[in-house]
Amino acid sequence: MEYSRAATATVLVVLALVSQAQAGVWPRSRPYNIAHRGASGFRPDHTAEGYQLAIDLGADFIECDVVLTKDLVPVCRHEPLVSGTTDADAKFPNLIKSIIIDGANYTGVFTTDLTLAEVKTLRCKQPIADRDQSFNGLFAIPTLEEYIAIAKRANRTIGIYPETKHPTWHDSLPIVKAAQTTMSDIVLNVLKKHGYKGPINSKAWSKQPVFIQSFEVGNLKYLSRKTCIPLVQLLSDWNTPIPDMPALNYSSIMSEAGVKDMATYASGVGPWKNTLVRAKAGANVTANGAALESTGLAERIRKNGMQAHPYTFRNEARYLTYGAFATAMDEFEFFFVKLGLEGAFTDYTGSLRQYFTMKSQEQGRLWNTGAVINRAGRPKPHNPKC
Our answer to whether residue 309 is catalytic in this structure is no
Q: Are 242 and 248 in contact (CB under 8 A)?
A: yes
Is-contact 291 256, C-beta < 8 A? no
Q: Are 19 and 61 in contact (CB under 8 A)?
A: no
Q: Between the CA of residue 63 and those of 47, 147, 311, what are the distances in Å?
A: 11, 9, 12
36 is catalytic: yes
- Choosing from 46, 78, 170, 309, the catalytic residue is 78
Closest CA to 330 of 340, 343, 348, 317: 317
3-state secondary structure the chain: CCCCHHHHHHHHHHHHCCCCCCCCCCCCCCCEEEECCCCCCCCCCCCHHHHHHHHHCCCCEEEEEEEECCCCCEEECCCCECCCCECHHHHCHHHCEEEEECCEEEEECEHHHCCHHHHCCCCECCCCCCCCCCCCCCCCCCEHHHHHHHHHCCCCCCEEEEEECCHHHHHHCHHHHHCCCCHHHHHHHHHHHCCCCCCCCCHHHHHCCECEEECCCHHHHHHHCCCCCCEEEEECCCCCEECCEEEEECHHHHCHHHHHHHCCCCCEEEEEHHHCEEECCCCCCCCCCCCEEECCHHHHHHHCCCEECCECECCCHHHCHHHCCCCHHHHHHHHHHHCCCCEEEECCHHHHHHHHHHHHCCCCCCCCHHHHCCCCCCCECCECCC
| Marked catalytic residue, from 36, 46, 166, 309 | 36
Selection from 236, 259, 270 nearest residue 102 by Cα? 236
User: Residues with catalytic annotation?
Assistant: 36, 78
